[in-house]
Amino acid sequence: MPKKPTPEDLRNLLSPRTEPCVSLYLPLPRHGPDLAKAPLRFRALVRQAEALLEEKYDARRVKELLAPLAGLAEATDVFAPGPDGLAAFRAEGLFETYRLWPEPPERVVVADSFHVKPLLRCLQNRHSYNVLALGSRRAALFEGSERGLSPRPVPVLPAAAAAGPAGETGGRGGSPRGGPRSAGGGSGKAPAESDGGRREDLLRFFRAVDVALRDGLRDDVPLVVAGAAAHLPVFREVCGHAGLFAEGVEGAVDDVGIEELHARTLPTARKALDARDDALVEEFRRQLDRGLAADVLTRVAEAAVKGRVRRLLVADGKPLVGLVDRTTGEVTLHAGQTGPQDDDVLDDLAEVVLAHGGEVVVLDPARMPGEAAAVATFRW
């Protein structure tokens, strides 16, 4: 069964390999007749890889290399409903399969290194966000995406508060297992309604929540807070989390189920994700004005091979097929893959930047500055 990729898996794939390296990506429907056709589509990808390999390698080596990939199409658990894409990698001494989300574009790449840009997109998790539901009786933390919310445990908060008052049940659209009332391990007790919602009680509770969240949340993942209108500005006073989004979602959350909470918070979460990407683009533009960035592909490539790139922004989706000279940074582009020596130039640039300790961010093409395929900010 394919697994979810980890940063260690990425490092393994980026290790120097004996060519050829075969990378296959297949988007998978979540259900229905199209999912049943997925093994046939995967076999077609294997045949494309075979055609590319046969341009350079003898038939026996091609057959040995592709045998594990051909067998993958017969494994029913590989195409089971789940995350929205399949990735398979094959080279001498390596055969790995992963399930990816967001779904990757359907693609075959045969080159001297693996094609990892869709894997980067999955690992950087730029479609995820956190939701903090501030109820009158407790707080609960969730990890969110377009697909829904899932509870996140915050063990530092008082464990006794997780159970809640005896006899509580989910209210409108909720259940005792699904909504903010029941995020097991992720709950902390808030001032009771009988306390009159005194400001000092709120501040004391919100400070405790802030401390509990401090070590458990990444600064680069947006945090959206949902709760009563009177509570949100008080929480913002004490919250020190760098990812806190200024716009909250107003409305009581005590009796709201997890699906309704997702529907309420998703529009604001989308704004938060867009704002984070916009901030990256604005930083790039400031550095470009200072001469510490580039939006011309050849300059980006030259800086990348010299180890000058601090952050590389690359466009998701359609690849730039060609070659990058990893010594000089010279870029050669082709209209399409002409043989097993070609790769996605953007993917190669990402590999070079990562190898030099830089950061790579895969963005929606519409969010790229000036619709560029790749831009970079420099270390010096």
Q: What is the pLDDT of residue 189?
A: 55
What pTM, to 2 d.p., does this model score?
0.78
Query: 197-213, pLDDT tens digit by residue?
Result: 478 888 888 888 888 88
Residue 177: how many other CB atoms lie within 10 Å? 13
Q: Categorise residue 369: left if φ over 0, alpha if ψ from -120 to 50, beta otherwise.
A: beta
129-277 is a CATH 3.30.420 domain? yes
d(C-alpha 41, C-alpha 55), whole Å? 22
Look at residue 171 in the predicted model and tell me its pLDDT.
38
pLDDT confidence of residue 102: 87
pLDDT, position 351: 93
Q: Where are the beta strands (DSSP E) in 242-303?
A: 249-250, 293-294
Displacement of CA 353 from its chain's centroid (Å): 19
Ramachandran category for residue 375: left, alpha or beta (phi over 0 → left; psi -120 to 50 → alpha): beta
163-209 pLDDT, tens digit each: 333 333 333 333 333 445 433 344 455 555 444 447 888 888 888 88
- 7-124 folds as 3.30.960
On the CB side of 343, CA atoms within 13 Å amount to: 26
Residues of the chain with pLDDT under 50: 158-179, 181-187, 193-197
Integer-rounded Cα Rg, in Å, for the chain is 24
CA gap 332, 298 in Å, rounded: 10
Residue 186 has a pLDDT of 45
Q: And the tokens for 355?
A: 């190898």
- Residue with structure tokens 């069964």? 1
- Could you state, in order of their start, the residue ranges of all structural domains in the chain? 7-124, 129-277, 291-378
CB 98 within 8 A of CB 86: yes
Q: Considering only CA atoms, which of 101, 77, 76 is closest in space to residue 87?
A: 101
Q: Are 376 and 300 in contact (CB under 8 A)?
A: yes
Q: Which CATH class is domain 291-378?
A: alpha beta
pLDDT of residue 176: 34
